[in-house]
Amino acid sequence: MHKRSPLAPDSFPHLPAIDGLGLAVAASGAKYKGRDDLLLMTLCSSANVAGVFTRSDTAAAPVQWCRDRIISGTARAILTNAGNANAFTGQHGQNSVSQTATALGAVLDCAAEDILLASTGVIGEPLDTTILTPHFPQLAANDTASWEQAAAAILTTDTFAKGAHAQCDIDGIPVTICGIAKGSGMVAPNMATMLAYVATDAALPAALLQQILSSSADQSFNAITVDSDTSTNDSVFLIATGRAKHRPVTSPDDPRLAGFRDALAQLMVDLATQIVRDGEGASKFITITVTGAATDHAARQIGLAIANSPLVKTAIAGEDANWGRIVMAIGKSGFNIDQNAICIEIGGFAVAADGMRVADYDEAPIAAHMQTASIDIAVAVGPGPGTARVYTCDLTHGYISINADYRS
């Protein structure tokens, strides 16, 4: 594992077990030595599951497998391997996911179609399933791993395990939500190069679960970027085991869901921003807020234009208050913005208003803000109702070093 990110949290949070969900880890040795690289999540019979996946045209074989099967809204297990993406591997890749699901299904006494799969790692290398399958009986027999062990098993270039926990009520009944994620580079919507698994004991039908997940993903995993590169393997799963004893909820408009929606949204933003804080080589965490755009979509694209600009990111890495690069990024976003309406703040200090530098501009407090670990940029682009918040990190030489050595 690379040197721990300076933006990492002090420790992994305590995540309680979710009733109806088993966790198991194992070390296959396929790529990494001396660490776990397989994660098996087993789901109880009452569980429903939803998923959102990469929109890349070169989606990996396990993503294609899951897209076809997530429609059922149910699954018996989710298996993840780290180190090999099983992406751009042709018919061999398709065969490997089928063989893996069939072998695991035989161990769990279920159909291959009841198995969901995820992979992360090097693209283009064939996956040798014979290295994985001998570990399936061990995984099936030991389903009491901790969330921290689960989070560690799926890491690649990550420098720390990522987890989050939330509590809420549905109908006055306590509900638990836990989640883990991995991701560090090749991070940009839609989604980032990441895997995320969120589980709750709430009893929610699959269609409702899918709607809630898609909405929450737009405000979290689809609002982050490290390097503007969209991965082949992005997958986010939301599992509801149905073990909480609240009354049935079937409508997305049910007011009893308000607390759950808020808790899930906050948890997913937490996980997403942890990915940014673990951006390869990152030394600064950056929040970009855009207001006044014609639509929320336009606001997010403007925010991403700023967040993905190498010139903006390297200036922040160098702690240079070169706000003209933000102006440049806004201008290239392609939304016919009136430059005379642009206002910019950095760290809460006004930089530009009404299309020009503010008359009393003082760079000293802005330069001081640039020396902190968390950078805040606020941009207004007009009188429109569209708003968005985007999260990113700076671009340092560390990013080059990590990716130059990725396969070694």
- Indicate the domain borders of the chain: 21-277, 285-404
Say if residues 77 and 109 touch (Cβ distance below 8 Å).
no
- Residues marked as catalytic: 193
pLDDT of 227 above 90: no
Between 3.40.50.920, 1.10.3720.10, 3.10.20.340, 3.30.930.10, what CATH number should domain 285-404 receive?
A: 3.10.20.340
- Token pair in block for residue 353: 């208003």
Residue of higher predicted confidence among 4 and 218: 4
Mean pLDDT of 34-44: 97
How many whole angstroms separate alpha carbon 391 and alpha carbon 284? 11
pLDDT of 303 above 60: yes
Say if residues 117 and 101 touch (Cβ distance below 8 Å).
yes
Work out the pLDDT band at 190, boundaries 50, 70, 90: very low
Work out the pLDDT band at 232, boundaries 50, 70, 90: confident
Q: How high is the pLDDT of residue 406? A: 54
Work out the pLDDT band at 189, boundaries 50, 70, 90: very low
- In the chain, the amino acid numbered 194 is M
Say if residues 379 and 330 touch (Cβ distance below 8 Å).
yes
Say if residues 341 and 316 touch (Cβ distance below 8 Å).
no
Q: Give the tens place of pLDDT for each residue, 344-381.
A: 999 999 999 999 999 999 999 999 999 999 999 999 99
Worst-scoring range by mean pLDDT, 35-39, 218-222, 287-291? Answer: 218-222
Q: E-assigned strands of 99-209? A: 115-122, 162-170, 173-182, 195-200
Domain spanning 21-277: which superfamily?
L-amino peptidase D-ALA esterase/amidase (3.60.70.12)
Mean pLDDT of 224-238: 76
Q: How high is the pLDDT of residue 221? A: 86
Contacts of 379 (CB under 8 A, 6+ apart): 288, 289, 290, 291, 302, 303, 306, 326, 330, 342, 343, 344, 345
Torsions phi, psi for 260 (to 5 deg): -65, -45
Q: How high is the pLDDT of residue 228? A: 53
Q: How high is the pLDDT of residue 231? A: 63
Q: How high is the pLDDT of residue 294? A: 96
Q: How high is the pLDDT of residue 229? A: 53
Q: What SS3 class is residue 317?
A: helix
Q: What is the mean pLDDT of the chain?
A: 92
Say if residues 35 and 152 touch (Cβ distance below 8 Å).
yes
- Token pair in block for residue 153: 């098993």
Q: Any idea which residue has 């990590």 for tokens?
A: 402
Q: Give the tens place of pLDDT for each residue, 246-288.
A: 999 999 999 999 999 999 999 999 999 999 999 888 899 999 9
Q: How high is the pLDDT of residue 122? A: 87
Contacts of 67 (CB under 8 A, 6+ apart): 53, 59
Mean pLDDT of 150-160: 94
Q: Give the tens place of pLDDT for each residue, 317-353.
A: 999 999 999 999 999 998 989 999 999 999 999 999 9
Q: How high is the pLDDT of residue 313? A: 95
How many whole angstroms separate alpha carbon 223 and alpha carbon 123? 24
pLDDT of 192 above 50: no
How many whole angstroms separate alpha carbon 52 and alpha carbon 192? 11
How many whole angstroms separate alpha carbon 36 and alpha carbon 40? 11
How many whole angstroms separate alpha carbon 74 and alpha carbon 91? 26
Q: Give the tens place of pLDDT for each residue, 57-113.
A: 889 999 999 999 999 999 999 999 999 999 999 999 999 999 999 999 999 999 999
